[in-house]
Structure formats: C-alpha cells, structure tokens
Amino acid sequence: MKNMNVHLSKDLISKYGIKNFPVRKGDMVRIVRGDAEKDEKLNIVGKEGKVIKIMTDKGKVVVENINIAKSDGKMKPRKLDPSALVLTKIVLEDKKRKERLTKLASLRNKVVEEEPEPEPEQAVKEAAEEKKEEKVPEITDGGKEAEEGEEDKDE
C-alpha cells in the first residue's frame, strides 16, 4: 500500500506550508473522528497519543493508550484509519524524512528550522546522577583503622 498520509495540525500547516505528510512510528497524533457506536463508550475523539504501529497492509494506525475491550474483558489496541487522525508533532530523526519535509516546505517558501536539543532534560539527568552519588555513603580506611586501634587498647 502507499504511504499513509495524515493531515497536519493548523500549527504545523502554518510552520511547513503543507497539509498532509506520511505518518510514522513515534509521531504524535490527535484523533478527530471515530465510529460513533464503538467510540461513544470509549470517548477517544480528541485524545492525543504516540503512534506505536503502522499497518500498511490493512491501512490502519495503532496509537498508544487507545484500546478497545474484547468480549472476554481483555483490552487490545484499537486500529484507526489515518483519515481520522491529525499530526501534532513530527519526528524528524530520519535524514530522508527531514529532507523531504524541507523540500516540500521550500516549495511553499517556508524554512524548516532545526529544533534545538532540550537542555533542561540533560540538566535534570545530571542532577539525578549527582543525587545518586550523594546518597552512597563513603567508607574511609581511617575509620577501619581507628576501630582496630580501639580493640588493641582494650586487650
């Protein structure tokens, strides 16, 4: 099957100048339509989630935390049609995908800006590592020698 294109959110349309783009694992999507009978109970319309699986043979997309109850009570992932989704965040880790988006945006006189790496997350990780190091008590050889010396005095 062809690439499964998904409409972009209004923010992404204004940023890139395109209205649809192929969906990929890792992209963030919002559900905008659904089957009224099934989804009325589930209330999935309006929810956002991360794409966890693309089923190109069936033309369906599986979104994280969007499940449906089976007759035995177990939950299974709900397969959604790409036409019911809107892309809210595009993952541009793949070089070819980024080049394609840049090319399409340049045709519409838009510039794709590099998103800087989020530094606050690195700072949080470093702070967490420092806390782990502080919690580990340091054992010095001086303390052991002092205990041995005290034992000798008692004898």
The tens digit of pLDDT for each residue in 85-129 reads 999 999 999 999 999 999 988 888 877 766 555 555 665 666 666
CATH number of the domain located at residue range(s) 5-107 in this protein: 2.30.30.30
Residues with Cβ within 8 Å of residue 134, at least 6 apart in sequence: none
What would the pLDDT profile of 57-79 be if each residue is shown by its tens digit?
999 999 999 888 889 989 999 99
Q: Report the alpha-carbon distance of residue 48 to residue 65 in Å, rounded.
A: 9
In which order are the strands placed within the sheet that holds 60-69? 20-22, 5-8, 85-89, 28-31, 48-55, 60-69, 75-80
For the chain, where do the domains classified as CATH 2.30.30.30 start and end? 5-107
**Residue 67: how many CB atoms within 10 A of its CB?**
15
